[in-house]
Structure 1
């Protein structure tokens, strides 16, 4: 049996959900998305994801077709309808279907709003146990990476290039400094056990898992710095890791073929993952 998805007010089998070829999400990538993790049938970090969704839609002038209570109810319903105990809920809202292709658009268009689930093991992760490897690639994304749009062609191509080079993913670099992983926040741990990640700006997405992980780290006595760091600093680091809604805190053990630290998942990375899961699980809704 396939998934039950949500599209413009209807619950439908996934095979029956249809969107117009003129939809601006399809023609212009004129759409916003969010991904929320489900664990034990509950939503992790949901308030942050809901707030970022609203911030992103406001930034490009798309009006959400549901209010705050309705949005939460839809997340809970889609998890229940698909017997989702562990995995992800994907939400997308596009500007809608104008009936034809035109760069200009009416400001009061009816948006296209969809949701679907994706079952995934988020606790028992092979990547978390052994760590991942990355290569560095130039960051060629558009200039507003702080808005969570569906313009993901370059991150997708970068992931493919990384795999072609024998790595698991890529860390993107602008002006000599790491910005992000292709779809996650990048961190290093210095020789004196300081967790370092790039400060928020237009060149990075304000990660919801990032915010929670940094707060949990500080609360548990870890030293944290928000500043740019170079590729050379990564190679000299004691540890490295990344955070995302679908992978929590995951170690990075090599970059451009060179080991980071001893080439194994570091103690701080693994401890922060443990603390994150414990804390977010306890606060899931």
Structure 2
């Protein structure tokens, strides 16, 4: 099936050979790919192994065959920081698509995956980490394989935008009242000294920081209960917080019009934040040896 040579881009027309991007790219046309966002502190990756492991789980889940091993991927990502002389706090966005091929729902044959990654500065959001943030609740309308970190993020984008338009940081998603996670983070409720969060099923992304929160909880002898809670339970929460690579461990002080606790970050959230800070330093020491 031949594509005619003149392509419309924006309001102009150009020859397909002169385009600066592959217009027949499966990430663009189908969202056929996966991604990772990896945190950097002082020029060093945090949880690099965990992110690369999840990347490979995602590519395997959608049947993208990579020519790279995990070790080769990690070496490339480390070289990316070196070539950019990265020495501050930031993040890497890494994306893999099934490749560039004539548009067809069926997988192309013998087409290499497209891989790219870039580095951005990302200072820590110390004000929000100290004071906490507000959130809204939204119905979870995503697909049933949220454990795959895929490029199909339109429901997440719409929920996040709704939160912003309501002057909030995040949107807490729920299925028939059962809280799953947020638009771009995992969420937790603290009640009577116990931490509750949705179990790591297909309905949520298995966050790398979420795994760390679980470890911290066990190390601190805090009950970590993988049991979903309901929107109606939020009003009875002692504390609420969310986690992600870019948000770290973020206190939630308001949901919709409901104040959480006394409206200030709680003691367990603070303890987890302190443990996270220590973990960053320890992790960096291990990587820089």
Task: Answer yes or no: same fold by TM over 0.5.
Answer: yes
- The reply on whether 1:127 has 2:132 as its aligned counterpart is no
Matched with 1:236 is 236
Q: CA deviation at 1:63?
A: 1.6
Q: CA deviation at 1:106?
A: 2.3
Gaps of 5+ in 2: 1-18
Matched with 2:178 is 177
Q: CA deviation at 1:18?
A: 4.9
Distance across 1 between alignment mates of 2:245 and 2:254: 22
Matched with 2:96 is 93
Matched with 2:72 is 70
Q: CA deviation at 1:79?
A: 1.5
* CA offsets 1:147-187 (integer angstroms, 9 cap, x no match): 00011111111111112122221000102111111010000
- The reply on whether 1:36 has 2:38 as its aligned counterpart is yes
Matched with 1:143 is 144
| Structure 1 pair 18–209 and aligned structure 2 pair: CA distance change class (3 A) | farther
* CA offsets 1:184-225 (integer angstroms, 9 cap, x no match): 0000100x1101111011110111110011111211121211
CA contact (8 A) 2:186 2:207 kept: yes
Distance across 1 between alignment mates of 2:276 and 2:45: 14
Matched with 1:9 is none
Tell me, what secondary structure is at the counterpart of 2:100?
Answer: coil
| Structure 1 pair 267–63 and aligned structure 2 pair: CA distance change class (3 A) | same
Using CA pairs under 8 Å that are at least 6 residues apart, name the structure with larger relative contact order, 1 or 2: 1
RMSD of aligned alpha carbons: 1.4
The aligned runs of 1:218-237 (5 Å cut-off) are 218-237=218-237
CA contact (8 A) 2:53 2:70 kept: no
Q: CA deviation at 1:107?
A: 4.6
Distance across 2 between alignment mates of 1:265 and 1:43: 27
Matched with 1:10 is none
Structure 1 stretches of 4+ moved >6 Å: none
Gaps of 5+ in 1: 1-16
Q: CA deviation at 1:274?
A: 1.3
Matched with 2:104 is 102
* CA offsets 1:5-42 (integer angstroms, 9 cap, x no match): xxxxxxxxxxxx95401100010000100111111211
Tell me, what secondary structure is at the counterpart of 1:283?
Answer: helix
With structure 2 as the length reference, what TM-score do the two structures score?
0.89
Distance across 1 between alignment mates of 2:133 and 2:245: 17
Distance across 2 between alignment mates of 1:255 and 1:198: 17
With structure 1 as the length reference, what TM-score do the two structures score?
0.90
CA contact (8 A) 1:132 1:252 kept: yes
